[in-house]
Structure 1
């Protein structure tokens, strides 16, 4: 596996051919782009969502071209503050074209999961996201290793089979 840049990851969102899948397994993240908006939400200031528009435009363009974005979120219940905030925004991701689903952590106890969140592109490239304890990304590891790709595909599919579509998910 090789460390790769943020730019390499973001390039994949426009260069994949068929499908991009994302498995999220943390209850909280701390990305630099999100933190100010999360803090505002926690202070009862819903703020705007303009900062998400570049992502939505990317998803809309890809899905109009027949490509698929799927995201599965494994979450503890009751939801963390971060996940409650994301829950309020997820309908916008779905409206842009992502198929986003939620999986209560208790449902995945018998699934073999990779050690880190990942993006899998066309079953050809996997990029693992390495986070610090505070939720900031500290590295991205890219690989085309067939064993890693099989592990990620198997884990994603197993989680997806248990996942609840965003419209039907009611957090406990």
Structure 2
């Protein structure tokens, strides 16, 4: 697999017609520049109206995408007990779901017998994958595109298997 140039996310999601699925595998993205949302959550003790306002760009994009008939799904594979960062994500997930994104959670111990990709990824309409490569503290190193049909097929199958085993957000306890 050779890396290719990475278009902006808005372009990738804008070209979707059927599905956009996201697999998250890390217990922290604290090193990722999130506009200070995680620090605010820790300082304020929860999700604030300011957070919800900042998050509106994402939820607006989700609403627009779902309105076009694109199914958006996300699975987070997490260690249990969950990290503080995952508790933060968990508390904010209702915003993703209210916008139309389906979210499930899979404890890492329940993923042990599954073939799980080595990096976070987005799969767009079974035509392209965008891998996300992160540092140990969760800072984004780079994104990488893959258009290899055999790789896309394998990771699409892996995502579906993970999705089936994962617990819907409203039934998962962080």
Please show how residues 18-33 of structure 1 align to structure 2 within 5 Å: 18-29=18-29, 30-33=31-34
> Which blocks of at least 5 consecutive residues in structure 1 are unaligned?
none
Q: Secondary structure at the match of 1:2?
A: coil
1:74 is aligned to 2:74:
no
Partners of 1:9 and 1:127 within 8 A in 2? no
Provide the aligned length of Structure 1 versus Structure 2.
Answer: 169
Alignment partners' CA distance in 1, 2:169 and 2:68: 23
1:129 equivalent in structure 2: 132
1:84 equivalent in structure 2: 87
Of the candidates 38, 56, 60, which is equivalent to residue 59 of structure 2?
56
Partners of 2:130 and 2:143 within 8 A in 1? yes
Partners of 2:17 and 2:68 within 8 A in 1? no
Q: Please, what is the CA RMSD of the aligned residues?
A: 1.4
Which digits, 9 at most, give the CA deviation of each residue in 1:27-78, with x for residues without a partner?
00132125x1111211235332211111111111111121110000001111
Q: Where does structure 1 differ by over 6 angstroms across 4 or more consecutive aligned residues?
A: none
1:168 equivalent in structure 2: 171
Partners of 1:4 and 1:139 within 8 A in 2? no
> Which blocks of at least 5 consecutive residues in structure 2 are unaligned?
none
1:2 equivalent in structure 2: 3
Deviates more, 1:155-164 or 1:39-48: 39-48
Alignment partners' CA distance in 2, 1:77 and 1:27: 10
TM-score (norm 1): 0.92
Alignment partners' CA distance in 2, 1:99 and 1:115: 22
Q: Secondary structure at the match of 2:26?
A: coil
1:37 equivalent in structure 2: 37
**1:101–1:68 distance in 2 versus 1, CA, 3 Å:** same
TM-score (norm 2): 0.91
